[in-house]
Amino acid sequence: MMLLKKHTHEQREELAKRILPKLREKFGDDLVAFAAQASHARGEDFGYSDLELIAFLKEMPSEKKWGAMVRVYDGMLIELVWTTKETYLKEVKDVTKEWFLAGSDTLLSLMNEEFVRELNEYVTPDLEQKCLKYAANRFKFEVQKSFGKVLNALDAENREGLPLMLFDAVFHALVTLSFLNCTPYVTFARMVERARTFETKPAGLDELLDVVVGGNYRDLASLREIMVRVFAGFEEIFEARGVELPDDDIDPELPNKDFLP
């Protein structure tokens, strides 16, 4: 394989060091800090992990909020982005639709350790209120739609189509749970494991996760019962928190009733 090769943590570290002088040459005095992200920053990168890097600038060289370089170098995917501190805090550390993963972002300083430490210690304001709004919005539109597709597949005994639709439904359920528990996931690989530990989760969730992990879709009636129980459990959680999910009007002149700020 040419585009996918194994590398060590030390090899990624060395490559990041080689990139820093090029950033200094490109951005000059506008370069404020440089850091690694994701698995390399956590020291959890494996053989085929990519290398995610971020540079912080005083000002962006254009009107765009983000710049990016993506390369597959010697079989390693390298994703380098650059932005300002303000944009990073607003679009990564603050609650947005991608916060269920982005909110856990931890940086490993490669330049300006004090600056990077300040970002790692940032506390998102009004976290619980914002998370509840995103949870309600994800459940009302994405979970409702994806669970409906699974129930259709079960009713039609569509075994070939069921796995992909079930994975999609469970993914949206796990994202909703991240917001409900105000806890972002660290990585896709641990979403199921982390969701099992959440204090707030609907009845039947662990059983549903067992089905997905085990890949046993033979008992369609049992799976249907679990899907209905999980969906109803979500509704009970939102009702207990005072969130009114159903719409009571179909007039297209009225704005959509969502929950986002």
Segments making up each domain of the chain, as ranges: 9-120, 127-240
pTM of the model: 0.93
The string of pLDDT tens digits covering residues 9-28 is: 999 999 999 999 999 999 99
pLDDT higher than 80, residue 261: no
β-sheet with 31-37: strand ranges across? 67-73, 76-84, 51-57, 31-37, 108-111
- Three state DSSP letters for 40-74: HHHCCCCCCCCEEEEEEECCCCCCCCCEEEEEEEC
* Model pLDDT, residue 257: 83
C-alpha dihedral, 191 to 192 to 196 to 198, nearest 10°: 20
pLDDT higher than 80, residue 180: yes
Q: How far apart (Å, rounded) are the C-alpha atoms in residues 56 and 237?
A: 40
pLDDT band at 167 (very low <50, low <70, confident <90, very high): very high
How many angstroms from the chain centroid is the CA of residue 48?
Answer: 20
Q: How far apart (Å, rounded) are the C-alpha atoms in residues 129 and 168?
A: 26
Residue 4 identity (one-letter amino acid): L
HSE of 89, CA atoms in CB hemisphere, 13 A: 13
* Model pLDDT, residue 131: 97
The string of pLDDT tens digits covering residues 132-153 is: 999 999 999 999 999 999 999 9
- Three state DSSP letters for 196-221: CCCCCCCCCHHHHHHHHHHCCCCCHH
CATH class of the domain defined by 9-120: alpha beta
* Model pLDDT, residue 39: 95
CATH class of the domain defined by 127-240: mainly alpha
pLDDT higher than 80, residue 107: yes
The string of pLDDT tens digits covering residues 20-49 is: 999 999 999 999 999 999 999 999 999 999
pLDDT higher than 90, residue 130: yes
